[in-house]
Amino acid sequence: MAFSACKKDVQLAFDQAKIEQSTNTNIEINYPKAEGTPEIAKAINKEIELFIVSELNMTETDNALLTLPKVVQQFDDEYKAFKSEFGESSQAWTATVDGEVAYQSESVICVMLESYLDTGGAHGNGNIAYLNFDPKTGALLKLEDIIKDVAAFKTLAKAHFKNETDNKEQIEDYFFGEDFQLPANLGFDSKGIILLYNNYEIASYAQGITKFTIPYEEAKAFLKVH
């Protein structure tokens, strides 16, 4: 995927990078890697790789001190230590990460990353994240970089949330006794701005992922980027 952020002659393209490991654990990582204007591509790749490291890091080592090859080896080492202590266990550890560029425009590049780890227990742990970047600098955008009026946008999002969920339930039942909260993850696609709550972020695990899209026609008045 090639992309040009025009005015400053920023050139970016995204290729798909892959890491596989199956010696002791099953690890498969596929993610978009930025190429082009060096300082911008480097900034984007740093944040993408840091997210993947944070998902696989099973130790107390600071994520910033780990590279992707190191954390893959570390994950494998942690499994070998587990097998050494619990040799009778037939549990095989698995880690997968899949990513893609979900949306790109002159004001935002949205990368979606989906991870799944199974290291035993009743079920594995899945997580979806949207990382939004400024195409002209490669900086990771925060909520206030994306939304003009957070309070007003929250009111709009709350109305959509009610439409997407069981109207018999009270908002407080989803948010552990609190009023409506925006999710940690906001993303973009061709239709609008995506709001996504991962497992345990609202309600119970059985609730699963809650995801809905606010069309650009409704959301654009609140957006700094789109």
Domains of the chain (ranges, CATH numbers): 2-133 (3.30.565.40), 143-222 (3.90.640.20)
Average pLDDT over residues 19-45: 96
Q: Decide if 191 contacts 215 (C-beta within 8 A).
A: yes
Task: Give the tens place of pLDDT for each residue, 179-197.
Answer: 999 999 999 999 999 999 9
pLDDT at 146 over 60: yes
Q: Which two tokens stand for residue 114?
A: 């989906």
Question: Please, which residues bridge with residue 35 across strands?
Answer: 13
End-to-end CA distance of the chain: 19
pLDDT at 5: 52
> Model pTM?
0.92
Q: Indicate the length of the chain as a whole number.
A: 226
**Tell me: the pLDDT tens digits for 150-180?**
999 999 999 999 998 876 788 998 898 999 9
Question: What is the pLDDT, as a whole number, of residue 35?
Answer: 97
What secondary structure letter does DSSP report for 60? S
**Angle, alpha carbons 101-191-222 (nearest 5°):** 100
pLDDT tens track for 79-129: 999 988 887 777 889 999 999 999 999 999 999 999 999 998 777 899 999
Strands 185-188, 94-104: parallel, antiparallel or unpaired by DSSP? unpaired
Q: Which residues pair with 192 in a beta bridge?
A: 215
Q: How confident is the model at residue 205 (pLDDT cuts 50, 70, 90)?
A: low
pLDDT the model gives residue 142: 98
Residue 1's pLDDT band (boundaries 50, 70, 90)?
Answer: low
Strand ranges of the sheet holding 185-188, from the earlier edge strand across to the other edge: 185-188, 192-197, 210-215
Q: Where are the alpha helices (DSSP H) in the chain?
A: 38-56, 68-85, 143-146, 150-164, 171-174, 216-219
In this predicted structure, the answer to whether residue 3 has a pLDDT above a threshold of 60 is no
